[in-house]
Chains A and B, each alone.
Chain A
Amino acid sequence: MRGPTIIKAEDDKTRQLNKNTLMAFSGEAGDTVQFAEFIQANVQLYSMRNDTELSPAAVANFVRGELARSLRSRSPYTVNLLLGGMDPTTEQPHLYWIDYLASLAPVPYAAHGYAQYYCLSLLDKHHNPNIDLEQGMKLLGMCTDELKRRLPIDYKGVLVKIITKDGVKEVDFDNDKIVRSA
């Protein structure tokens, strides 16, 4: 977006950091991609040098460290992040919420920006620790429906990627569904 103009409707705001971690970002245009690709390059460099994949916890703490260092510099990155991944050794899923102040919190579900106000209450009510993919996609549908219903802007749908122990893949998501406001 540039003011009221939509420049691109299907902008991928995620970067895959290694085989089993994916980072989604929002914030200041320019900062976001610059920071995400800087992290991506360094995580991949680590994988090549050491012949191991960093765990999501390790990546999250690295990201936080870099963002915290930048926060107290002359020109900090204004980037909010969600970092999801499967731990390659324990095969446990992890999700980390990181804001532009470099606060790091491991969470069961998360959002940034206006989506927090519309979606967190839905997730509080319907999420449970053993939720499967099918139920999860249904819950995501409830979240996007709510955003369509309540947000005064057309955000042009969402891009959905899922992370399993086999890696990251994009899945189809019906963005054309019309939701009427109450």
Chain B
Amino acid sequence: MGSPFDINGGACVAMVGKDCVAIACDLRLGMQALTISNNFPKIFNYAPSTYLGLTGLATDVNTVSDLFRYKVNMYRLREERHISPRPWPTCPVLAGINQTTGKPFICGFDSIGCIDFAKDFIVSGTASDQLFGTCEGLWEPDLGPEDLFETISQALLSAVDRDALSGWGAQVYIIEKDKVTQRLLKGRQD
């Protein structure tokens, strides 16, 4: 058995635009080369305009997303306000808009919690090498919501086509100050 990061496969990417951010993931769940499900979203919503994408071992995607849902719910009840996108240890890709400042925010983590603040994009998953290439080629500063959607979608779809462990459709969230658009991309189903 190889690395636990490569057993189930998956890809996730987040990008910053002008007053908006986008986060997208693929939908595959596999065991090595065998595909178990083509409807396994890896992006989770924790507050208005705060989204978290998780890739890696599927059991830990489940565990971390459930644990965070519990912790964020407890935070909301205790503080009587929503949590805002701010670095939190142990999560691969985080995207959102700070409700107070209105600033778009993305960051990534490695599995032991080292933070990567980025002005442009964050990638993770088995297709991360490919995503670095497509994002480097397609991303430019100050993209509007529609242009950002097109950019992140093309970057993700092109990247997962070059990775056998990712793909089978994608989910894209475009997050603006007071609006979130979720789109499902069918993608290649082979």
Contact = CB atoms under 8 A, between A and B. Distances in A.
Contacts of B62: 64, 68, 102-104
A38 interface: no
B184 interface: no
A114 to B, nearest CB: 11
Interface in B10-49: 29, 31, 34, 36-37, 39-40
Contact of B59 (A68, A97, A106, A110): A68
Nearest to B7: A101
B57 interface: yes
B127 to A, nearest CB: 19
Output the residue of A97, A105, A116 with the most chain B CB within 10 A. A105
A170 B66 CA distance: 35
Interface string A19-56: 00000000000000000000000000000000000000
B58 interface: yes
Contact of B37 (A64, A101, A102, A107): A107
A110 B36 contact: yes
A61 B67 CA distance: 12
Interface residues of B, number: 15
B128 interface: no
B26 to A, nearest CB: 14
Interface string A76-106: 0000000000000000000001010111111
Contacts of B39: 106-107
Contact of B58 (A61, A65, A103, A117): A103
B37 A117 contact: no
A71 interface: yes
A1 B36 CA distance: 27
* SS of B interface (majority): mixed
A26 to B, nearest CB: 14
Nearest to B35: A120
Contact of A105 (B7, B29, B34, B57): B29
A61 B59 CA distance: 12
B34 A103 contact: no
Interface in B54-95: 57-59, 62-63, 66
A101 B40 contact: no
B153 interface: no
Given A103-B29, A105-B58, A97 B36 contact: yes
B34 A68 contact: no
Output the residue of A61, A101, A102, A120 with the most chain B CB within 10 A. A101
Interface of A: 61, 64-65, 68, 71, 97, 99, 101-107, 110, 116-117, 120
18 contacts: A61-B66, A64-B62, A65-B66, A68-B59, A68-B62, A71-B59, A97-B36, A97-B37, A101-B58, A102-B59, A102-B63, A103-B8, A103-B57, A105-B29, A105-B37, A106-B39, A107-B39, A120-B34
Given A101-B57, A103-B29, A104-B62, 19 more contacts: A68-B62, A68-B63, A71-B59, A97-B37, A99-B31, A101-B7, A101-B58, A102-B59, A102-B62, A102-B63, A103-B8, A104-B59, A105-B37, A105-B40, A105-B58, A106-B39, A107-B39, A116-B34, A117-B34
